[in-house]
């Protein structure tokens, strides 16, 4: 059997792809592998941005392979443990301090939307995307944080419309309601996501991490907490090599080059 998940690198950008085309189901093996990969990416300072995509151009993902749920319960000990693993992985992505960019195309259903909802940027295909949380049609409800994150992303008005009607929306509609940041033709989508990730990876890593810490989950924080976190970010980024580079590039009217390695210490 092929690996359920593929990892490739382009410099400071990691590209994570679900490898079960055409439907790219999120199998038990996939989630175990993703859990380990997320831990490794979090601890690898050479990775500064991540693209989440899938193999092929048919579908991003139809979500969990429901036929495997009984086996998952047997392996993990309970249905709650199966769902907790997924909730924890998505939370770690969201709170990692490194930007993740998800591509939405074809079917993006159930977990195939809930996982991208934990990412910081979402790009959708201009044509043929079907994006939704259709669990209601199965007599169930989203179980991987979908209702909470979708509501936070697009507001309760649109979240209720999508969830209670098991509604699937297009890429342009997802862009209209604020679910995705950009829409591109399908044949350009993955390249655009990688280009965005490279742009993000080129930004000063500490400043990016600082702003993710302030902004992620900001809807649940008081203004006083946000202002305190912003001041902490200002202090942490004052006097850094990247702040010096930013100022010098401004004065010299050139593009800054951030995240440069420290000069080699000749005493080593």
How do 107-109 and 130-132 pair as beta strands? Answer: parallel
Give the residue numbers marked as catalytic: 114, 135
pLDDT of residue 112: 97
pLDDT of residue 262: 58
Q: Does the 5-201 domain belong in CATH 3.90.226.10?
A: yes
pLDDT of residue 168: 97
- DSSP assignment of 175-219: HHTTS-SEEE-HHHHHHHHHHHHHHHHTS-HHHHHHHHHHHTTGG
* Tens-level pLDDT at each residue, the chain (268 residues): 589 999 999 999 999 999 999 999 999 999 999 999 999 999 999 999 999 999 999 999 999 988 888 899 999 999 899 999 999 999 999 999 999 999 999 999 999 999 999 999 999 999 999 999 999 999 999 999 999 999 999 999 999 999 999 999 999 999 999 999 999 999 999 999 999 999 999 999 999 999 999 999 998 899 999 999 999 999 999 999 999 989 899 999 999 999 987 554 333 3
pLDDT of residue 251: 93
The pair phi, psi for residue 38, each rounded to 5°, is -60, -40
How do 49-54 and 100-104 pair as beta strands? Answer: parallel
Taking phi over 0 as left and psi of -120 to 50 as alpha, with beta for the rest, 139 belongs to left
Are 107 and 130 a contacting pair, CB within 8 Å? yes
């Amino acid at each position: 059997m092929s690996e359920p998940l593929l990892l490739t690198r382009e410099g400071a950008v990691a590209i994570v792809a679900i490898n079960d085309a055409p439907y790219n189901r999120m199998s038990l093996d996939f989630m175990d592998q993703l859990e380990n990969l997320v831990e490794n990416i979090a601890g690898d300072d050479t990775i500064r941005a991540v693209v989440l995509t899938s193999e092929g151009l048919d579908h991003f993902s139809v979500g969990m392979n429901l036929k495997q749920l009984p086996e998952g319960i047997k392996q993990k000990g309970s249905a709650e443990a199966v769902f907790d693993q997924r909730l924890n992985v998505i939370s770690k992505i969201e709170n990692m301090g490194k930007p993740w960019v998800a591509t939405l195309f074809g079917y993006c259903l159930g977990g195939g939307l809930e996982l991208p909802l934990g990412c910081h940027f979402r790009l959708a295909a201009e044509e043929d995307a079907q994006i939704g949380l259709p669990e209601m049609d199965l007599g169930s409800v989203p179980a991987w944080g979908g209702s909470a994150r979708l509501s936070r992303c697009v507001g309760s008005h649109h979240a209720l419309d999508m969830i209670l009607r098991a509604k699937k929306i297009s890429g342009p509609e997802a862009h209209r309601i604020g679910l995705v940041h950009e829409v591109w033709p399908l044949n350009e989508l993955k390249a655009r996501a990688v280009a965005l990730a490279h742009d993000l990876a080129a930004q000063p890593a500490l400043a990016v991490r600082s702003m993710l810490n302030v902004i992620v989950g900001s809807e649940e924080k008081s203004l006083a907490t946000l202002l305190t976190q912003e001041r902490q970010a200002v202090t942490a980024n004052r006097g850094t090599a990247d702040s010096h580079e930013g100022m010098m590039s401004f004065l010299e009217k050139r593009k800054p080059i951030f995240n440069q390695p420290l000069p080699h210490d000749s005493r080593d």
